[in-house]
């Protein structure tokens, strides 16, 4: 996509923010508001730095994702998709993943190795992409976000409870520090 106009780095919401568990709504009209959101999401994911970001992670419960394995190095590697859905998936591989909303957490996540994804471009045109390997994995991770699913959900219960407890404790400590300052 061509990136024009002003951009802003948006704050990324951190687990256990409730928005991370919400079902994001489809975008009905691709208008300048959505295009601005996409520009800001691109700026935000590059600044993080990260390779993918979903709108709920910046506080917007809408079906928008950006993926850029090059982290801003290669404009051709940038994918911004509205209302993305996985049409077909094959293969299976387990790899470690992180998430900008779950700092310092790494989880082994099984994913399809090849996916076909359909969505709308920032110009409102339908596209169908085939992705494999890491790109396929990141699409699946970001589309999970649109349905309130997080990498934590791929853990066994005991491990998940342990990590959740640690994250909540860290959040309480962060809030205590804010209260004291």
Task: Kindly state the smallest distance separating residue 146's Cβ from Ni ion, in Å.
Answer: 11
d(CA 54, CA 24): 10
Q: In the complex, which residue's CB is closest to Ni ion? A: 99
Nearer to Ni ion (CB atom), residue 78 or residue 138: 138
d(CA 80, CA 47): 16
> Left if phi > 0, otherwise alpha if psi is -120 to 50, otherwise beta: which for 73?
alpha
Nearer to Ni ion (CB atom), residue 83 or residue 101: 101
Q: Show which residues are catalytic.
A: 142
Task: Kindly state the smallest distance separating residue 102's Cβ from Ni ion, in Å.
Answer: 7
Task: Kindly state the smallest distance separating residue 53's Cβ from Ni ion, in Å.
Answer: 7
CA distance to 29, 40, 48, 133, 173, per residue, from 4 (Å): 19, 11, 20, 30, 40
Is the separation of the CB atoms in 8 and 132 below 8 Å? Answer: no
- Residue 177's H or E segment, with its range, is helix 157-180
Which stretches of the chain bind Ni ion, using CB under 5 A?
A: 99
Name which of 166, 146, 170 is nearest 155 in CA terms.
166
Nearer to Ni ion (CB atom), residue 12 or residue 82: 12
Task: Kindly state the smallest distance separating residue 67's Cβ from Ni ion, in Å.
Answer: 11
Cα-to-chain-centroid distance, residue 173: 26
Nearer to Ni ion (CB atom), residue 166 or residue 176: 166
d(CA 88, CA 78): 21
């Amino acid at each position: 996509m061509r990136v024009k106009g002003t951009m802003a780095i948006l704050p990324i919401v951190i687990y256990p923010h409730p928005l991370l568990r919400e079902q994001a709504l489809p975008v009905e009209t691709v208008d300048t508001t959505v295009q601005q959101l996409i520009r800001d999401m691109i700026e935000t994911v590059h600044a993080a730095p990260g390779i993918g970001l979903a709108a709920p992670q910046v506080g917007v419960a809408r079906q928008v994702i950006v993926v850029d394995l090059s982290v801003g190095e290669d404009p051709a590697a940038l994918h911004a998709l509205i209302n993305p859905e996985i049409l077909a998936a094959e293969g299976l591989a387990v790899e470690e993943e992180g998430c900008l909303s779950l700092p310092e957490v790494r989880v082994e996540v099984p994913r399809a190795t090849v996916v076909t994804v359909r969505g709308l471009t920032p110009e409102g045109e339908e596209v169908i992409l085939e992705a494999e390997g890491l790109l396929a994995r990141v699409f699946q991770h970001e589309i999970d976000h649109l349905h309130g699913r997080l990498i934590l959900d791929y853990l066994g219960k005991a491990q998940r409870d342990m990590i959740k407890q640690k994250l909540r404790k860290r959040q309480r400590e962060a809030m205590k520090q804010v209260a004291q300052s």
